[in-house]
Amino acid sequence: MAMTYSPLTIALTKGRIEKETEHLLTRAGFDLEFMADKGRNLIFESPDQQLRILLVKAPDVTTYVRHGVADLGVVGKDVLMEHPTGYLEMLDLNFGLCKFSVASTEAYNPNDHKRKRIATKYPTVARDHFNRKGEDVEIISIQGSVEIAPVIGLADAIVDIVETGHTLVANGLSIYEDICRISARLIVNKAALKNKPQVLSFIRQMEGIVGTEEVPFK
């Protein structure tokens, strides 16, 4: 008797990298017609029931994969650095390129010995970065619009994502230090990798398309 498997389930990050992920899936030969007209739907299944796509917020991609309700996930390295456990990172997809940087106003002195206040949406990344430099900093966690924090006096500097740099410029900030390159990654649930044959073939297929060579950011 032929074995039947539940659909290959992929959690995709809504927003910035959504289109590029869909483009990649199409290049891999998947017909995504079933999600052409998304409306407000967040879950999509192909008519042949081979593929299921969940559209979720970036940090939740890791949660769905960790709990095994998604076999695979596509999410930025920024999110993985902040939520580093419960999945295997399989592939650098080489799109969604940006970087983590430390930025502030002209008034910032990175060599100041006082304990710095760093505002960020990425407390783990920020703490790890300053720890590596041997600096104990106060982390102020905020949810967004981080760029105003040094301007308004909430923090001495920020740790945030920089893509075009336009948001920094618009708010009178400049980069003092780059932390690392960020790109979209393919992650997998460990049990799914072991037990669902189509998961490994999917990963191999993606590898064939994007290659294993890292595309640099700028």
Pairing of strands 184-188, 72-76: antiparallel
Out of 46, 63, 105, 167, the only residue in the binding site for ligand PRP (CB under 6 A) is 167
Is residue 171 close enough to count as binding ligand PRP by CB under 6 A? Answer: no
Q: Which stretch binds ligand PRP (CB under 6 A): 20-28, 62-70, 159-167, 198-206?
A: 159-167
Q: How far is the CB of 93 from ligand PRP (least distance, A)?
A: 17
Question: Which residues lie closer than 8 Å to 189 by C-beta, 6 or more apart?
Answer: 65, 66, 68, 70, 71, 72, 87, 88
Q: How far is the CB of 22 from ligand PRP (least distance, A)?
A: 18
Pairing of strands 98-104, 157-162: antiparallel
Q: Which stretch binds ligand PRP (CB under 6 A): 61-69, 103-111, 158-166, 194-202?
A: 158-166
**Distance (Å, rounded) from C-alpha 101 to C-alpha 186?**
23
Is residue 113 close enough to count as binding ligand PRP by CB under 6 A? Answer: no
Out of 40, 113, 132, 166, the only residue in the binding site for ligand PRP (CB under 6 A) is 166
Region class of 68: left (phi > 0), else alpha (psi between -120 and 50), else beta: left
Q: How far is the CB of 140 from ligand PRP (least distance, A)?
A: 15
> Residue 66 is encoded by which pair of tokens?
């960790």
Of residues 117-156, those binding ligand PRP (CB under 6 A) = 144, 146-147
**Distance (Å, rounded) from C-alpha 60 to C-alpha 13?**
8
Is residue 59 close enough to count as binding ligand PRP by CB under 6 A? Answer: no
**Residues found near ligand PRP in the complex (CB under 6 A):** 144, 146-147, 160-167
